[in-house]
Each structure stands twice: as structure tokens, then as C-alpha cells.
Amino acid sequence: MSNKPPHPETISAQALGQGDVPSGGLVQAIHVATTYERDADNQYPNGLIYGRPHNPTTRLAENVVAALEGGAGALAFASGMAAAVAVFENLTNGDHVIAPKVMYWALRDWLAVRLVARGVKVSFVDMSDPAALEAVLAKGSTKIVWIETPANPLWTITDIARVANKAHGAGAILVVDSTVATPVFTNPLALGADIVMHSATKYLNGHSDVLAGILVTREADEIWEKISSARASGGAILGPQQAALLVRGMRTLHLRVRSASEAALKIAAHFEGHPNIVEVLYPGLENHPGHDIAVRQMQGGFGAMLSLRIKGGAAAAIQVAANVKIWKRATSLGGVESLIEHRASMEGPSTPVPEDLLRLSVGVEHVEDLIGDLQQALAADA
């Protein structure tokens, strides 16, 4: 028998091979207990005290993602936003954070409004421009550099290794939102990141029926202990039923993500140069500004998200979305069904997203059906 560690596909498909020991079931039981019994020596033999800091089912989900990312530990939260916010929980007045100009809108808004209200300075920069990052890095006061790659919804690519080097040189940690890349295509910790974040609602779960967030750390250091303590005290842990659904979803992670990403590349290539489209935004296209970096740090694929900028502005884009029959007009991404959304309408008047942009999340339907539906939607708008 080979002594080599299992491949990521095996880790996710078998959920680390941890079934239900008492019954022999291949799927671990869902543990719903909120409190645990002490033994006669007044100790907790399994290290479990109460449901707020730990749960065996939640721990399994954490262990699977930690293994996929090559991390020292993981924490599961009740949503992607809960996971993201936990990273900033221990910052104090005068600390400094750097984040991308274009990123997941809900977190961008939280940083600009709520974190700033606590006295933390936040700089939003173009992460694809090395000079822009270096101009705002402040040794001693910059505590966190946050990047998202590919970044929602323009799908810009940031060089993780380069930013990690700059952040560490200033004494800051690097946190990477790798929701779109997934562990299938990118392992940020191996490229120098300190923490990787996933909105597990999206690809890790993949079935549009769970809200969840995951943080994975490269080292179980003091910063990680503070984040863990904040989750325990704040009660933001992912519940056991949701964790079980997350584990179920991760069993098909590689199949789903690779299938959807292959389809996304075909869709992007097909509509490049379409007379009713101003621009196709997808890092798998050779003319994408971040393509070369994506080839280097996204192993085996470029993700299943792309955006189309429609000729005629916001009204034309909204009409194209209204014309689709197979694509679903809905927010979110990463599910088995394909979604289309006029993103600027969702984000509001202060959005940096172009008004002519439609965001597409490619699912696992037949790619010819998806292309045909978009073709008729664009033709109906002509």
C-alpha cells in the first residue's frame, strides 16, 4: 500500500474517511447536543464542554477544509460575513487595514462603515498595482492586508505571493478571500497567505441550501487564538445540521467546480467579440489583464464566474437578464444552477461596478444549453 497522503479529491469525496463509528455508517452522524457530561474526575474526556465553542459535526467540516487548504486549523462560522468579520474583531483604534477597491460588496461596505466607526483606518487600493499597495502600507500600523482573487465581480487577479511578501515586510498579516478560486484551483497558504477565507455558502457547499463561512490558518498562532476565542464568546459557530450539509456538498467539490469552470471558459470564449457585448471579463481569457498570474497561481482552471458588459448600458443589461429562460435571476454564486444578476442594482448608487455589467455564476447544466439561452437573450435585446 502506498504511504503517500491522499489526493485532495479523495479527502473531499470521503470527508477524511470519518464515518459513524458506533454504527459503521459511511456518513458521520449529526451531533446536536449542546452540552456534555463530565466524568467522575470532573473532567471532559473528549474535550467538549458546550455547543457554543465546539461541535463534533462542525469540527469534521473544519477538518476537511483545513486538509484541503493545507492549514494548521480551521473555524466554521454561521455565514461567510461572520467569518470575514471575525478576522477584524481584535483590531483597535488607530490600526490600519488595506483592502481591494473592488471586492465582495457586503464586506467592503462593512469595512468602510462599521470598521471605520471603531477608529480603524481602511485604505481601498487597486491590488493589481504594486505601487498602489506599497504607497499605503504603513509599517507598525497596518495590521491586515485583505485580498480577494479572483475579485467579485470584475474577476481581477492579485498575485498572492507578491502581496504576502509586501505585507509581511510591513509586519501585517495577509488574508485571502479564495471563495471563487476554491481549494480546487488555489491554495493561498502555500503562496504565503496567513489566513484563507471561504464563503462556504458558495462552492464548498454548492447546493444553495447552507449559509456558512470558513477560516483556515497557516499557523495556530496568537492571532488565530484570538479569532477562535472571539468565535467562542460571540457564538458565531456553524450549527451541526448546516455543517453536515456542508460536508455533504464538499464530497462532490472537485467534480462540480471543474465541470462549471470548464463550462465558464467555453462561455467566455464563445461570447468574446459578440456584437452586443462590450467586454467579457474572465481570467481564463488570454486578453484578461491578470491572465498570466492566474495561470501561475490557479492550477488547473480559472473558476466558474465571469461577467459580461452589455452594449446599451444598465437598461440593456437588465433586459438581457429578463430575457433568459434557463439562467436564474438571483444573487449568490457557486451552486449547481447557473445564475445571472445585474450587479449594480444589488449594490446601489455607491457601487464601483459598471452599470452595464451582468455577473454570471456558471453551474453544472449542459454548456450548450447555457450558451444558447444567452444567445437568444442577447438577440431578443437587439
Active-site residue flag, 177: yes
Burial call 199-232: b when 16+ CB within 10 Å, e when fewer: bbbbbbbbebebbbbbbbbbeeeebbeebbebbe
Active-site residue flag, 258: no
Among candidate residues 95, 159, 177, 381, the one labeled active-site is 177
Active-site residue flag, 203: no
Among candidate residues 52, 101, 248, 309, the one labeled active-site is 52
Among candidate residues 108, 166, 202, 359, the one labeled active-site is 202
CB 122 within 8 A of CB 116: yes
CA triplet 183, 69, 281: central angle to 5 degrees? 30
Among candidate residues 59, 95, 104, 166, the one labeled active-site is 104
Active-site residue flag, 52: yes
- Active-site residues, by number, are 52, 104, 177, 202
